[in-house]
Amino acid sequence: MDSRNDRILKAVDRLFDDQVRFLETLVRFPSLRNEEAAAQDFIEAALRARGFAVSRFRTDASRIGEHPAFSPATVDYAESWNVVGRKPAAGSGGRSLAFNSHVDVVPAGSPHRWTSPPFEPVRDGDWLYGRGAGDMKAGLVASIFALDAIAGAGLSLRGDVQVQSVVEEEITGNGAATAFTLGFTADAVLSPEPTDEQLVRANAGVLKFRLETKGRPAHPREPESGQSAIDLMIRLIGHLRTLEARWIAERQDKRLFGDLANPVALTIGTIAGGDWIASIPSDCAVEGRIGFYPGEDPKARAAEFEAFVERIQAEDPAFAGERLVGLDWVGVMHAGYELPEGGEAETCLRAAHADTHAGEDLRAYVMACYLDAAVFSVHGGIPALVYGPVAENIHGIDERVSLSSLRRVTKTLALFAADWCGVEDS
């Protein structure tokens, strides 16, 4: 087996220049929401060329509200394409594995603040820059090239293997939910999100909301005759900070989350209000998210959030009168998960990690955000390992992934797959 491992590691090294070029090409597809088709074409072609049986399917809106893996969506899914490549086991008796990655990326923020254009990959020393380079195109590419390396080492996996390239992770998780409910599951899932080569022990449940305030527009010569929707929104956000603080305080009773500064993280991602510099604005809207703890029902947390907003409107005189606040759920409404310690999949990954890190032990940590791994863990009871490369500034300016880390992770994934599924000479 050691010589097989050596062959795999050498194959990763041999293929690594190709792998980086593949990643650079993938970064050039600006796979923003509902614009992932070109990137998926590229992935589909790459998987077919490698002998995978490829399924391409739209994200399924019909199951929203019908299956708890699905979250509310605000867009048509006519252009929301997922790709799964499957390669059947060469022999028998091996365990199956699904690599799950998402190809959708978040917007670039302020492109003018990037050092180089966000969808033009730039290498600088160990870093590859680009929106999505870290989150998580590098991981997707690592899974493909880990399997290439196994084949390149003259080996075949003894368990069925999948490469999943889903969409919607950054907003609803409905791409993974569709894959899951179509039966694209396995004995273990590995999702190579950018985790700095650590294992995710638990993630957070997440709710994504849209809040709107209505004001009474007026001329600033009589500001008291109007009510500013922007001022109302600022006031509402202030109230929500008390809800956030209350939810944060619960962490003391929550396994794994006690040490996090803010596992809840009420963040306001967007705001838009008013249409004239010298009017009292009539409308304001924000979009944001808030987290909660694994094991909790997202619907119960959503109801708690709704009741809080209701009470603000009832109790704060600034909101008196007609209905001034609108609340919609516009993205992930999903439970978090915990990965039970010491499972067999984790043990395999721990061994592979040690092999590629001079014997260093795999560290685990809590990532207080939504991850597609939650779909497989919560609804399928499947061991879902989230482990991937070092990346910086994901969702930020000048996002970048470490190429040396990408190489190590590709090796770890390859050794893990070989160990988990078993290998035989081709």
- Give the H/E segment covering residue 385: strand 384-386
Binding residues for its own copies restricted to 272-331, rule: CB under 8 A: 272-284, 286-289, 291, 330-331
Minimum CB distance to its own copies smaller for 94 or for 291:
291
**Residue 199 Cβ vs its own copies, minimum distance, rounded to whole Å:** 15
**Residue 357 Cβ vs its own copies, minimum distance, rounded to whole Å:** 23
User: Among the residues of 250-343, which ranges form H helices?
Assistant: 298-315
Judged by CB under 8 A, the number of residues near its own copies is 61
The 8-class DSSP code of residue 1 comes to -
Task: Calculate the CA 2 to chain-centre distance.
Answer: 34
Minimum CB distance to its own copies smaller for 106 or for 163:
106
Using CB under 8 A as the binding rule, whether residue 369 contacts its own copies is answered as: yes
Stretch of 90-98, 101-109, 174-182, 333-341 contacting its own copies, by CB under 8 A:
101-109
Among 47, 265, 335, 413, binds its own copies (CB under 8 A): 265
**Is residue 394 within 8 Å of residue 134, measured between CB atoms?**
yes
**Residue 403 Cβ vs its own copies, minimum distance, rounded to whole Å:** 21
Strand-pairing partners, residue 327, are 211
CA distance 249 to 244: 9
Compose the 390-409 pattern: x for residues touching its own copies by CB under 8 A, - for all others. ---xxxxx------------
**Residue 233 Cβ vs its own copies, minimum distance, rounded to whole Å:** 8
Using CB under 8 A as the binding rule, whether residue 267 contacts its own copies is answered as: yes
CA distance 414 to 143: 8
Binding residues for its own copies restricted to 177-236, rule: CB under 8 A: 208, 214, 216-221, 223-224, 226, 228, 230-231, 234
Compute how many other C-beta atoms are within 10 angstroms of the C-beta atom of residue 145.
Answer: 26
The residue ranges of DSSP E strands in 224-375, in sequence order, are: 267-273, 283-292, 325-334, 364-367
Q: Which of 169, 174, 204 is nearest to 291 (CA)?
A: 204
Among 37, 75, 271, 318, binds its own copies (CB under 8 A): 271
Classify 15 as helix, strand or coil: helix
Q: Which residues contact 295 (CB under 8 A, 6 or more apart)?
A: 335, 336, 338
* Calculated CA dihedral for residues 265, 270, 276, 280, nearest 10 degrees: -30
Stretch of 84-92, 306-314, 364-372, 373-381 contacting its own copies, by CB under 8 A:
364-372
The type of residue at 99 is F
Stretch of 119-127, 136-144, 251-259, 367-375 contacting its own copies, by CB under 8 A:
367-375
Q: Which residues contact 234 (CB under 8 A, 6 or more apart)?
A: none
Among 75, 268, 351, 354, binds its own copies (CB under 8 A): 268
Classify 263 as helix, strand or coil: coil
Minimum CB distance to its own copies smaller for 328 or for 425:
328
**Residue 47 Cβ vs its own copies, minimum distance, rounded to whole Å:** 28
Residues 168-190, buried b or exposed e (16+ Cβ, 10 A)?
bbbbbbbbbbbbbbeebbbbbbb
Stretch of 93-101, 249-257, 362-370, 377-385 contacting its own copies, by CB under 8 A:
362-370
Residue with the two structure tokens 């993974």? 176
**Residue 89 Cβ vs its own copies, minimum distance, rounded to whole Å:** 35
Minimum CB distance to its own copies smaller for 273 or for 422:
273
**Residue 110 Cβ vs its own copies, minimum distance, rounded to whole Å:** 5
The residue ranges of DSSP E strands in 8-126, in sequence order, are: 53-58, 81-87, 97-102, 122-124
Binding residues for its own copies restricted to 160-179, rule: CB under 8 A: 170-171
Stretch of 23-31, 144-152, 340-348, 363-371 contacting its own copies, by CB under 8 A:
363-371
Q: Which of 220, 198, 212, 113 is nearest to 387 (CA)?
A: 198
**Residue 86 Cβ vs its own copies, minimum distance, rounded to whole Å:** 30
Q: How many helices (H) and strands (E) does the chain have?
A: 9, 18
CA distance 376 to 70: 12
Minimum CB distance to its own copies smaller for 42 or for 319:
319
Using CB under 8 A as the binding rule, whether residue 246 contacts its own copies is answered as: no
The 8-class DSSP code of residue 182 comes to T
Q: Which stretches of the chain bind its own copies, using CB under 8 A? A: 106-107, 109-110, 113, 135, 170-171, 208, 214, 216-221, 223-224, 226, 228, 230-231, 234, 237, 261-262, 265, 267-284, 286-289, 291, 330-331, 367-370, 393-397
